[in-house]
Amino acid sequence: MPYINLKTTKTVAPEKCEALKTAFGKAIESFPGKTEAWLMVGIEDGIKLWFKGDNSKDSAIVDVDLLGQVNSSASEKMTKVVCDILENELGISPDRIYVKYTGYNDWGWNGQNF
Distance in angstroms (rounded) separating the CA atoms of residues 23 and 8: 16
Domain ranges of the chain: 3-108
Q: Can you give the pLDDT at residue 9?
A: 98
Q: Can you give the pLDDT at residue 91?
A: 98
Successive 10-residue mean pLDDT values, the chain, 114 residues: 97 97 97 95 98 96 96 96 98 98 96 94
* ∠ Cα 73 18 16 (to 5°): 95
Query: 3-108 maps to which CATH number?
Result: 3.30.429.10
Write down the pTM of the prediction. 0.94
Q: Can you give the pLDDT at residue 1?
A: 87
Cα separations (Å) of 12 from 2, 54, 84?
22, 21, 16
